[in-house]
Amino acid sequence: MGESTQDHDQDQKPTQPHPDPSAATNTANAPPQNPSQTAKIPLRPRKIRKLSPDADAGDRKSPHTDAAAENPKSTPPKVAKNKIVPYQPKPAPKIAARSLSCDGEIEVALRHLRAADPLLAPLIDIHLPPAFDSFHPPFLALTKSILYQQLAYKAGTSIYTRFVSLCGGEDCVLPDTVLALTPQKLRQIGVSGRKASYLHDLARKYQNGILSDSSIVDMDDKSLFTMLTMVNGIGSWSVHMFMIFSLHRPDVLPVNDLGVRKGVQMLYRLEELPRPSQMEQLCEKWRPYRSVASWYMWRLVEAKGAPSSAGAVVGATSLQLQLPEQQHHQQQQQQPQFLDPINGILNLGYCSSHLNTLFLYVSKNSIPSSLY
């Protein structure tokens, strides 16, 4: 009986599971729980999807693309009313101008000037177009310009004729020939000692290779101006005239020429004669045919009548330039002398038979003698 009771008591005891050693270890390492904190909801780990570089680039979209997709009719942001946006005109295409003696280049120049400056259109309609169809060797042209400086037409022609005869003809007016002429020989034909030094300086620069006819023809305008003004006795005005009427350069603006400045004043109805420093800006629209536009400025002044300070007269077939000495002589006589239409002071093929009388105003008061 006692054994049965003991067995029954053993049956009544609850069975206890065997302790797990790993669970005991985790319980020991776990931090103590604060009963005041609320239980945290465990988060599921995020799934990471590996993409190839191409696919990844395709999936990424710029915010501008997304915005455009959501609102296809979106408009650009409006500019504030009080904000001033400066106007930026489109740059005009550059025109590559050729020599004015090239076929059809004068017609191209006139079309350009009509479009660029409507005020020139009436002048172009009234006057026949200029023609630049003659060419003389640069050395001969520069020598001639030096000889005629500050001389009356008759005196200059007489001296030039004797100079050419002393050289053996125009074809023989070469650097070596000029250097062989002593100042005494040149003085015998009327060439002053100062002009003799100018001629020798020009010839010496040719002989040393600093200048040559071929290099002068091939040089750009800026380089040519720099090189020629290095010659004693040749200034900016002489270089500009040489470039226009001897080399037929299309884009030369003689800013020191009183006739061109007076023409610009008349054309734009300016109160005062523009200064040489203002001419570049006023005539910028004429590029790249400022030589032709300058020619029309001379014609405009001629049409308005020549003032008493007229310093040069142009004949029918060539441009002749009278310099300050002749101007002073003419002012005393009050009768301008019209130059020979064939043999001019600077008969360098300057103009053609289309020209009538063209006045170039060269004043001692407005242009320093060093500029010649």
239-279 pLDDT, tens digit per residue, is 999 999 999 999 999 999 999 999 999 999 999 999 999 99
Q: What is the mean pLDDT of residues 122-126?
A: 95
> pLDDT higher for 59 or 225?
225
Pull the structure tokens for residue 228.
């020629």
CA-to-CA dists, residue 61 to 38, 64, 73, 83, angstroms: 42, 8, 19, 33
Neighbour tally for 163: CB within 10 Å: 21
Phi, psi (rounded to 5 degrees) for 252: -115, 130
CA-to-CA distance for 323 and 367, rounded, in angstroms?
11
Class of domain 96-134+250-303: mainly alpha
Longest CA pairwise span in the chain (Å): 176
> pLDDT higher for 294 or 362?
294
Q: pLDDT tens-digit profile of 150-207?
A: 889 899 999 999 999 999 999 999 999 999 999 999 999 999 999 999 999 999 999 9
> pLDDT higher for 364 or 13?
13
CA-to-CA distance for 346 and 340, rounded, in angstroms?
11
The DSSP string of 243-257 is HHHTS--SS---TT-
CA-to-CA distance for 100 and 115, rounded, in angstroms?
19
CA-to-CA distance for 237 and 290, rounded, in angstroms?
15
Cβ burial, residue 282 (10 Å; 0-12/13-18/19+): middle
Q: According to CATH, what is the number of the domain 136-247?
A: 1.10.340.30
Q: What is the DSSP letter of 318?
A: S
CA-to-CA distance for 343 and 38, rounded, in angstroms?
118
Would you list the domain boundaries of the chain?
96-134+250-303, 136-247
CA-to-CA distance for 315 and 349, rounded, in angstroms?
12
Neighbour tally for 22: CB within 10 Å: 7
pTM metric for this prediction: 0.61
Model confidence band, residue 98 (pLDDT cutoffs 50, 70, 90): confident
CB 198 within 8 A of CB 231: yes
CB within 8 A of 190, min separation 6: which ones? 155, 158, 159, 162
Neighbour tally for 59: CB within 10 Å: 8
Helices vs strands, H then E, count in the chain: 18, 2
